[in-house]
């Protein structure tokens, strides 16, 4: 099917990058990113730019990764659960970058102990299906506290800085939490700069030291922002970033008998994990499939009954965990915007089935009624303003209409009558879904499609065109500049329409990207 939003070539690099990143799971992407950093470290070691040999790197890497993968497999067998090899490799790679590379048996024993602690923690220290602590940070913290070995975070070195920044930005682009990582880096580096300048160093020297010699960038990109340990709302995530950033940079030393708790990045991350749990990270729930129906030629709607009350806000998404055979690179988890309003006994999601769907979507579409899946996360900040007087412009591309259906249904249930214009782009008029809810909301709806619809509900308009342009916005929504805009759809559509809205004078724009495979 031709995408209505991509009738012309995708001209923006950002849209191309988003589409490319969407082809692999989040965990697989992190494996690739950390693998690039590890490969760069080996190359720099060969060239003599790092203070250790390739043999030291190789033995340390083997100690952390092999131990983590092996213990993960054992724990999965004991708990009769499915092992997560990507997650195990990520933990092993993270630990590899934390400990000084060595071939000494005593050092390797300590590194393996940290890896074992990290692997076991994923199955023991779990709260409602989510990690209480970042496993790698916990492993490094415990072996450091007990004196088995100590972390040095050698990844924070000038030769690796560019590689860490580039791969970290790739990961943050995919997770969408760059602001959280940036907050942590700004807070921690600011504290270090203040400390160093207060002791007599020049500002530029202190800045270089804070950026190059401290592992704040690596910790922010690859550990602080781990989805399974972040709270669900952005403001809570920022609070975690601030607290962790301060604790990572402020010197302290507490003596607990023979143990000494002092300033380390891993201790700061663990404190942030505890705060995230306290701020209400929502955990695992079981959903039972009640019914499945095709609501358009390419979109399937799935209705679920939760095992207990599910609390969410309109516009948020849930993450489903669906183990299945022959899983592809997209993995076993996928996020879907909730299409139903809060307070209902059943939850509804809808997803587009492309011509060549991922193994996850094939398995999801083939689930029989009565089958159960797990929800591992409910989160998101794609929320409408609380002030009912704010005029809204909701722009959806294809399946991107789903969060708006939840939001409009919630407004209808609450009896709220807001000034809402919905611009709904589809590749074919048959692809329009949620008609009843859109009509019930009373919103003004403008359909954008290459083909003229045979009929539209009363009050709806056909906006023509094949995609949203500044001219389409100006013609269909003449007062767009006074509205708060929300965009939901595939990466290219979101990128193009954001620019179109900016050109039309819209200044407040919120986005939600659907990768759709």
CA distance 488 to 477: 17
CATH of domain 285-379: 2.40.30.10
The CATH T-level fold of domain 392-513 is Rossmann fold (3.40.50)
Q: Dump pLDDT digits (tens) for 98-111.
A: 999 999 999 999 99
What's the whole-number mean pLDDT along residues 224-246? 90
What's the whole-number mean pLDDT along residues 343-349? 91
pLDDT level of residue 329 (50, 70, 90 thresholds): low
CA distance 509 to 325: 40
Q: Dump pLDDT digits (tens) for 432-468.
A: 999 999 999 999 999 998 888 888 898 899 988 777 7
Going from the C-alpha of 159 to that of each of 47, 83, 98, 103, the distances in angstroms are 11, 35, 16, 22
Strands 299-306 and 372-379: unpaired
pLDDT of residue 19: 65
Most confident among 108-117, 313-322, 323-332, 443-452 (mean pLDDT):
108-117
**At residue 6, does pLDDT exceed 50?**
no
Higher-confidence residue of 284 and 264: namely 264
Is residue 493 classed exposed, middle or buried when 0-12, 13-18 and 19+ CB atoms within 10 A define those classes? buried
CA distance 36 to 30: 10
Q: What's the predicted TM-score (pTM) here?
A: 0.80
**At residue 330, does pLDDT exceed 70?**
no
Helices (H), 7-84: 13-21, 26-46, 54-79
pLDDT level of residue 10 (50, 70, 90 thresholds): very low
**At residue 227, does pLDDT exceed 70?**
yes
Q: How far is CA 402 from the centre of its chain?
A: 19
pLDDT of residue 437: 93
pLDDT of residue 248: 94
Give 445-484 as a DSSP string. EEEE-SS--S---TT-EEEESSS--HHHHHHH-TTGGGSE
Lowest mean pLDDT among 144-148, 182-186, 284-288: 284-288
Instruction: Give domain limits for the chain.
Output: 25-278, 285-379, 392-513
- Non-local (6+) Cβ contacts of 339 within 8 A are 301, 348, 349, 350, 402, 403, 405, 406, 434
Dihedral class, residue 425 (left if φ above 0, else alpha if ψ from -120 to 50, else beta): beta
pLDDT of residue 1: 33
Q: Dump pLDDT digits (tens) for 397-441.
A: 889 999 999 999 999 999 898 999 999 998 889 999 999 999 999
Cβ atoms 98, 234 nearer than 8 A = no
Count of Cβ atoms closer than 10 Å to residue 148 Cβ:
17
pLDDT of residue 104: 95
Q: Dump pLDDT digits (tens) for 22-73.
A: 677 788 899 999 999 999 999 999 999 999 999 999 999 999 999 999 999 9
156: helix, strand or coil:
coil
pLDDT of residue 406: 96
CA distance 93 to 309: 38
E strand or H helix that includes residue 302? strand 299-306
**At residue 9, does pLDDT exceed 60?**
no
Dihedral class, residue 118 (left if φ above 0, else alpha if ψ from -120 to 50, else beta): alpha
pLDDT level of residue 482 (50, 70, 90 thresholds): very high
């Amino acid at each position: 099917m031709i995408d209505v939003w991509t009738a012309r070539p995708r001209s923006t690099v950002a849209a191309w990058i988003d589409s490319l990143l969407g082809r692999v799971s989040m965990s697989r992407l992190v494996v690739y990113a950390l693998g690039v950093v590890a490969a760069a470290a080996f190359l720099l070691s060969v060239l003599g730019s790092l203070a250790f040999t390739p043999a030291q790197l190789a033995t340390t890497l083997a100690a952390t990764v092999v131990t983590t993968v092996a213990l993960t497999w054992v724990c999965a067998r004991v708990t009769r659960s499915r092992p997560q090899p990507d997650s195990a490799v990520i933990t092993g790679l993270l630990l590899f970058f934390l400990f000084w590379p060595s071939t000494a048996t005593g050092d390797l024993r300590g590194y393996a102990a940290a890896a074992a602690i990290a692997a076991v923690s994923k199955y023991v220290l779990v709260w409602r299906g989510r990690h209480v602590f970042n496993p790698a940070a916990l492993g490094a913290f415990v072996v450091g506290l007990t004196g088995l070995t100590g972390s040095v975070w050698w990844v924070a070195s000038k030769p690796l800085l560019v590689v860490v920044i580039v791969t970290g930005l790739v990961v943050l682009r995919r997770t969408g939490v760059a602001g959280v990582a940036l907050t942590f880096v700004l807070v921690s580096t600011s504290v270090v700069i203040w400390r160093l300048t207060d002791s007599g160093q020049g500002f530029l020297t202190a800045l270089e030291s804070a950026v190059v010699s401290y592992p704040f960038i690596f910790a922010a990109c690859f550990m602080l922002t781990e989805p399974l340990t972040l709270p669900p709302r952005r403001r809570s995530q920022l609070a975690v970033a601030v607290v962790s950033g301060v604790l990572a940079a402020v010197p302290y030393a507490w003596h607990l008998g023979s143990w000494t708790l002092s300033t380390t990045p891993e201790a700061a991350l663990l404190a942030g994990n505890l705060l995230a749990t306290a701020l209400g990270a929502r955990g695992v729930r079981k959903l039972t499939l009640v019914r499945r129906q095709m609501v358009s030629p390419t979109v399937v709607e799935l209705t679920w009954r939760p095992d207990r009350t599910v609390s969410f806000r309109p516009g948020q998404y849930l993450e489903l965990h669906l183990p299945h055979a022959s899983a592809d690179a997209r993995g076993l988890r996928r996020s879907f915007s909730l299409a139903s309003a809060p307070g209902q006994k059943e939850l509804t999601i809808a997803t587009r089935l492309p011509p060549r769907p991922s193994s996850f979507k094939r398995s999801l579409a083939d689930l029989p009624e009565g089958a159960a899946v797990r929800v591992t996360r409910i989160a998101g900040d794609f929320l409408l303003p609380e002030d009912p007087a704010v005029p809204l412009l909701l722009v959806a591309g294809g399946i991107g209409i789903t969060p708006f259906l939840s939001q409009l249904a919630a407004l209808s249930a609450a009896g709220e009558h807001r000034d809402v214009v919905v611009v709904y782009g589809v590749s074919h008029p048959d692809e329009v879904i949620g008609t009843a809810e859109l009509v019930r909301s009373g919103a003004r709806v403008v359909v954008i499609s290459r083909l003229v619809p045979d009929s539209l509900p009363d009050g709806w308009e056909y906006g023509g065109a094949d995609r949203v342009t500044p001219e389409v916005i100006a013609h269909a929504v003449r007062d767009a500049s006074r509205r708060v805009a929300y965009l939901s759809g595939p990466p290219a559509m979101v990128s193009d329409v954001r620019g179109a809205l900016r050109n039309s004078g819209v200044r407040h724009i919120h986005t939600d990207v659907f990768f759709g495979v």
